[in-house]
Structure 1
């Protein structure tokens, strides 16, 4: 009589739902969006194959970084409400399976971006290294971790330009700086909202370590820097990265809206005010990238 075969014999070691959680699908898609926006800004002619390599490589890059992060922090994630049900701390995915997946994504992502050009692959590999090996360990040591984490976080927007041109200069440098300074108000607002939970895991995310006027004031300062850099291309200082006057006005208005939310956080110092700023920041970076891309298309058409 034939032996019954367990249905578990053919189960994959990870479900699609857990894969999405490990790679943080929403974050990964937003990064791919930033990369594609940068590509459109740098490309003279858009090639579908290049966009596919960039999208696939970008997702792999972010996914691998997030998995390495979750492997390293698995014992701390158990302590926090927002992370204790992640696949690794919840026991649904073993650290070994997660590590294998992260390595596969690293190789696949870097190889995909190398097919575009070596510079793109280099910046992707640098991003993974900084996020997993520098930013992640620093999160429990010093609030300066946010500064370090802002570097790989700012790479995607400029990565698209490098992918399109195989060059790194003032143009991708400006795109990098826009997203670099944007991350401080964004992540400090998030850190403000989740401060109690972060402290359970020993993470030091706020610049002063407290939800106080000092943190709120720094959020205002970095928001101003972000706004200034975002409109710099209108003055002709940024090479081939150009912004028309109407587009610059639109970017300025959007930046002022975000700055108002930063001042409201300084005034009220509540989680609700922090949440409003965080949501405003997400809208800002997405809309700025769209304005830049459509401005280039409209000016080129005219």
Structure 2
């Protein structure tokens, strides 16, 4: 058994980013001392669900992955993991994670966990070959880790939870639009319908990134005005938000020549925003 190949099926870097979002929201939802045992259970269950969903996604897209240079060395198209074993692995991880969340966290978090494969595997994955609107469905799925962390502490959804969810949802739009441009040729070979596929100059897509960045900037200010965070967070959100929007405008006026750098900048922005939120949590 090639353990490294099976680990690759889970897309560990994506799982890690998702867990960081869950940790942040878990902390923001907590009152008083942090329940580290509950946090451990929530993260383990979430990692299993997310890793399983990623494996199922690769199983479904195995033929398309073989056509693209970026993905042709993934475990299934490269032959390191057989198709049926990848399917079984993904299903067991996803179902095991849901059961773990149900038993060791709570029913509501388990339900939110169910939405991860439901939206990512059964909606986002097939929609990638049908409509560019798949980006928004993928962003919905990608923002669910926030709710996994929040509901582990507070098994209900309130306005504060939805604000944190909306920030991560909005962040993914400019981030993945930039990714769609960088890997445009690969996506075309794979038959994926992505925004910017018919934009030869990148000008229209660039201004879409600007618009999405401005929406993200506006949403990022909400935690302070809702009393979730303090003024330190607000200062950091304004400072880094203005810089990200400025970079987006520069990107649009230079025909996306620095799209790859924007991807990295957006990751730094999100990491900084989450750290600032945790450090300056109100109450």
TM-score interval (norm. to shorter): over 0.9
Question: 1:282 Cα deviation (Å)?
Answer: 0.6
Q: Which residue of 1 aligns with 2:93?
A: 105
Structure 2 residue matching 1:229: 3-state secondary structure: helix
- Does residue 33 (structure 1) correspond to residue 12 (structure 2)? The answer is no
Q: Which residue of 1 aligns with 2:78?
A: 90
- TM-score, with normalisation over the residues of structure 2? 0.95
Task: Assess if the C-alpha contact under 8 Å between 1:231 and 1:243 holds in 2.
Answer: no
Of 208-217 and 262-271, the range deviating more from structure 2: 208-217
Q: Which residue of 2 aligns with 1:24?
A: 11
Gapped runs of 5+ residues in structure 2? none
Equivalent of 1:174 in 157, 163, 166: 163
Question: 1:189 Cα deviation (Å)?
Answer: 0.6
1:132-171 to 2 correspondence within 5 Å? 132-171=121-160
Equivalent of 2:245 in 240, 244, 259: 259
Q: Tell me, in whole angstroms, the C-alpha distance in 1 between the residues paired with 2:84 and 2:197.
A: 37
Q: Tell me, in whole angstroms, the C-alpha distance in 2 between the residues paired with 1:155 and 1:131.
A: 10
Q: Which residue of 1 aligns with 2:208?
A: 218
- Does residue 189 (structure 1) correspond to residue 178 (structure 2)? The answer is yes
Question: 1:112 Cα deviation (Å)?
Answer: 2.2
Q: Deviations over 1:90-124 (max 9, x none)?
A: 11111111111111111221122222111111111
Structure 2 residue matching 1:261: 3-state secondary structure: helix
TM-align CA RMSD: 1.4
Q: Which residue of 2 aligns with 1:77?
A: 65
Question: 1:159 Cα deviation (Å)?
Answer: 2.0
Q: Tell me, in whole angstroms, the C-alpha distance in 2 between the residues paired with 1:146 and 1:244.
A: 32
Q: Deviations over 1:130-162 (max 9, x none)?
A: 100110001111100101111110111232111
- TM-score, with normalisation over the residues of structure 1? 0.89
Q: Tell me, in whole angstroms, the C-alpha distance in 1 between the residues paired with 2:140 and 2:198.
A: 21
Q: Which residue of 2 aligns with 1:274?
A: 259
Q: Deviations over 1:34-65 (max 9, x none)?
A: 10111000011311211111111121121111
**Cα 1:65/1:94, change in 2 over 3 Å:** same
Q: Tell me, in whole angstroms, the C-alpha distance in 2 between the residues paired with 1:70 and 1:209.
A: 26
Q: Tell me, in whole angstroms, the C-alpha distance in 2 between the residues paired with 1:66 and 1:209.
A: 28
Task: Assess if the C-alpha contact under 8 Å between 1:178 and 1:230 holds in 2.
Answer: yes
- Does residue 206 (structure 1) correspond to residue 164 (structure 2)? The answer is no
Q: Tell me, in whole angstroms, the C-alpha distance in 1 between the residues paired with 2:99 and 2:265.
A: 35
Q: Tell me, in whole angstroms, the C-alpha distance in 1 between the residues paired with 2:51 and 2:81.
A: 15
Gapped runs of 5+ residues in structure 1? 1-11
Question: 1:208 Cα deviation (Å)?
Answer: 6.2
Question: 1:20 Cα deviation (Å)?
Answer: 2.3
Q: How many residues align?
A: 280
Q: Which residue of 2 aligns with 1:8?
A: none
Q: Which residue of 1 aligns with 2:221?
A: 231
Q: Tell me, in whole angstroms, the C-alpha distance in 1 between the residues paired with 2:155 and 2:198.
A: 41
Q: Tell me, in whole angstroms, the C-alpha distance in 2 between the residues paired with 1:245 and 1:291.
A: 10
Q: Which residue of 2 aligns with 1:126?
A: 115
Question: 1:209 Cα deviation (Å)?
Answer: 3.7
Question: 1:246 Cα deviation (Å)?
Answer: 2.3
Structure 1 residue matching 2:241: 3-state secondary structure: helix
- Which entry has the higher C-alpha Rg, 1 or 2? 1
Structure 2 residue matching 1:82: 3-state secondary structure: coil
